[in-house]
Every structure is written in structure tokens, then in C-alpha cells.
Structure 1
């Protein structure tokens, strides 16, 4: 599949670099998700971008293949098809289901459901990474495994959307399991939309993008420092109580009353500092589910447990067993992190300490 000059004009060199970098970041997050699922090191390399006419789209060298359709339903609009070798997907399923290397894997309902879940985890992580980069909320529909994925069927599907398509090729390596390639195909309009938003995001939000990297360090400081602002209501409450007490006792010297209040305030501040030094255990909850004992007893290595959340949903942030906030899962330096998007409990709870 070669590009002519007219095809190249659809995207400039700068736009190619932008979409390449965005897809590189997104697929890096997808690789991390797959690595977690398989408990193996996964690398997805820098993408190679090609633009071609739909009737010239070629992937016969990968056949037989499995096609997975992902539709963007929030933030950006359009669809993206992943085209993967059937042999690669079978190898992933064997690893996931703890099967031997020679055991045959049939693409039955259970296998297709497992593929959808794997893609859901991978592309959910990729969309979260894309959302973090663009500074918007990005959600996808549940991935669908295509019934037929011949070249003709894929070409007909994209022909409805336009004359051209953008083909992005990735090399994928799963340690000791896969050394292969897959394709991400999308219509040029979707690529253009991502490029336009990416250029806007890099111009306007270069500094805010670093916030997720700072938050893990700031969480501990937040526990210690932020509540100190609320010490004023405590001191004020103490002052009111002392004023009422002094009025009843009819103490004639105002300066003696102020001296007593200052000591009370110092004692309250000291006690508050002591309380604020107590460590708090933070937990991030992805989701929950209920199962019968019989179902749990049948669990084996590779069993998939569905939770009550969809990919891209916010996760709960829990402090000492109490829900305090929600946020989005992001990836920072190959580590899962959480960007807080909603605070559920006001910090004035510290004002109740007396």
C-alpha cells in the first residue's frame, strides 16, 4: 500500500507528527493495561502512519484477522477499527485462560466476550490517556468484534464514510508470547478532530498537563496543610465560649481575658497539629460486584470478574473507609494514578474537632 501526492495532502507533516504522538501516548496506556491483564511485559512501538484510498487499503499479510470496532461517544466523534492477527488473539486468550500453548482456542461466545473485555480494558485506558492529554472527557462504547473482517468487508464499511482512510500500524511485543503487528484504521475526519484538539491542548494547557504528575506528591501535603485553614472557626468557637463564661463571672479586666483566650487558642492549635500528623490510608476503588459462593468457588486463574462500572467511569477515592472524592484513572510514567475531578466531602469537617 503506497501513498501518492494527493493522499499525502490530506495531512501535513506536522499533522502526521501530532496524530502519531497522540496515538503513541494512547497505545502506551493500552499496553500498560494489557500488561496488567496478562502479567507480562508489553511494548507497543511508535506508530507508522499511512493515508490511502479506501479501495487500496491492504492488510492481507495479517490474515486471518480479528476486527474490533471502537466508537467514540463523548468528547470526540467517530469510529476506530483495530485489525489484529487471529493467531495473536488466540495466544492472548491462552495466556488469559491459563491454557497450554498447544491447546486450540475456538472463537465461541465466551472467547469473543473475553476479547471484547480485553479491548475494553485496553481502549478504556487509551481513551483516559487521550482525555488527559486533550483536557476533555472522552468515552467509548463497548468494543464490538466484527462478524466478518475480510478486506472487502472493511473497505465497504469505510467507503460509506468517505473516499480515504488513515491507517496507523503498530508493532506489538508481549514478552515470550507475541512478536507481531496490528493496524488501527480510522476515517480522516476523526484524525483531523484529534489533531485539531491536540494542537489546541498543547498551546493552552501545557502547564496544567503536569498536574497529574504533581498530585501524588501533593496528596500527603493536602492532608496536613489544607485543614489548617479551618482552625479559625475552632478558635472563634473557643472565643465565643470564653466570652460567655467571662460575662457570667463578670471578670473586670479585659486584658486578662485575652491572655486566657490566646493560651486556649495555642492549645487548640497544638492539639490540631497532633491530629493532622496521623496518617490516613487512601484507597482507590475501581468497582464492585456481588457473586454467589458457588460462583466464587468455581473461580480459576484467568476468570474474568465483571464490575459495576464501565471503562472510562470515574473511580472512588476512599479515606479510612469513607468515600471522599471521585476521579479519572491516568497513567504517569507507567504507573496508575488518579486525577481528582470531584470532592464529595467538604474540608470543614475539621471544624467539628474541639
Structure 2
């Protein structure tokens, strides 16, 4: 029998735990190079990667253009890069980048960079349907956004490419763009732009990154017609969930939609927001696993406080957090299984604004009175 003579003390916690979301967005790149090391490596930012390119005299492959596109956006975010040796046989290169995509699943233990809620690009080769489909598979498992390329020479070709997909984890991009003396695929430029605004805008990961200046872009390999207020190719392609960069008071991104069949998840900013929120809530709630059930009140309070912060910052419109009696039955309580429901509506972005200019003669008398003095 323990004897606790004297004065004894202990401490506990009866408070909501803070839930935080990282604003940094890692970028994973699968690329080819004609020199240097192969396999999985990491860089602190794209400029570090470009120094690696210079130090190893890399003059061919997709690595340099990818790093340049990201660097031009001025973003300082971690990069995980898988490099394979450029081969004269494109079939070999495709096989290597497919293997490189699989290696990204080992990013955290091998490089220390967790790419969950990050971005994946495979410049040039993601224009191959098989590679883009593999990106979709990897992204759905790792909660990342895969940004693909397409270099079709006409609208019909782009439409044919995008018709292969129906996913909330892909952003289908189109075109190559003149930047820094190179032709850089859409995927590299868009990845850098997204990562930049994620980290440099308040709650940037919850925003729509269409209609943002693509820094460094000065032209395009294929002009996609863009006309305000009229039917045009860019509008038709965006209706099919294709994103691009168009000339509109500078070179701007146009499109931030997925190809998912459910209209709710065709908004890529909503998909990315919900995954960030869920990941943060799950991570912050780990402390409660295998604890006493009465501690669930603090799990709920933590989430409520978190949602109040998001509501105050315009990330969500409203929310409700509750243990649904229909799901939490006597049997589930006995088994130690609990179901917490978090209902939330995110702040939608303006994708269509219709302005009607109407002629009216309501003020005609005012003119007559003015003329008559």
C-alpha cells in the first residue's frame, strides 16, 4: 500500500489546445537532368536548386526550367526533387518519372519534408496521360495538388486531354510560357505562384489563385484567345476546368478548378482549404487518443476556438461542432468509439460577376428643369 504522507501536488489541463496551420507549401518535383546525382533530394528553395544545376553543369532535361519557373515567383519554400538521368529514349524517361512519383511517398522519412497539402509537378512529362494519372493517384493518397501540363496545338487537343480526368486532386494546366529566356511549362510557374501566395497572404492556402500575376512571364508559345465579356477559347477551356496564363493587364493566371464530377469539389481553393483544416485538426487532436472519454470536451472546445479564428479572418462563413447522437450510440460509447462532426461553409471566391448596364430616362425631367433654369 502506497503511503502519501505530507503535502502532495500535481497538475493537469482544463483548456482548449491551440490548432495551428503551417502557411508554407512544399513543392515536389519529378524531373530529368543530363548530369548530377539521381534519386530523391531536397533544396531549401528553388535558388538552392538552381545553384545545384550550375555546380553540376546541367544543360539538358526538365530540372532547370522547373526550378526557374518556381524561382521567378519569388517564393521561399522547401522543395523535394526526384531526378533521373535524361535518356535519348523517351519511353525510358517516362518509366523513370513514373518511378520517381512513387518515391515521393517516402519524402518525409528520406528528406524530412512532408509534402502533405503541398504541390506535385512533373514538368513536360505530365502532358502524358499515364503520368498525369499517376500524379492523381499519388496526390489522392498524400492530400497534395498535382499540377499537370498540356501542350496541345489547338482547343480540340486540350479538350481531349482534360477529358481523361475527373479528380479533385489535379489542376490541369496548358501551355509553355516565355520567361527568363526559356520556355517554361505552366506547372512550374503555377506551383511557384501558389506556394508564394499561400505563404505571403493571410490564410493564403484558402484563397483562389486565379487572376494573379505570373512573375517573369513575357509571352506564350501558343496564344489562347481571351476576351472580357465575350465567348472565347480561354473561357471555353476554363469551363472544362483547364487553367492557363493569359494576357490581361499583364500575364495572369486564369482558372483554379478541378475536374471532379461533384460541383462542390470543383473549386480547388475549397478542396485545399478542407484538407488543410482536416490535417490540422487531426494533428492537434492526437493527444486525446487513448485518454479518458471526458477529455473529448476539450477536443471539441479546441476545434470551436479554431473555427472562431477562421471565421474572424474570413476563411469560413459559419460552422457547427457536435457529437451527433445518431452516430454516437450506447454501443459505440461502450466500444470507446466517438464521432465528432464539424460542419463548415468556406468563404467562396468570385468566379462570375454579371454587371448589367441599363439605359433609363428616369432623370429626363432633371435635364429639362436645368435647361429651363
State the TM-score, normalizing by the size of structure 1: 0.23
TM-score by length of structure 2 reads 0.22
Which structure would you say has the larger RCO, counting Cα contacts within 8 Å and 6 or more residues apart? 1
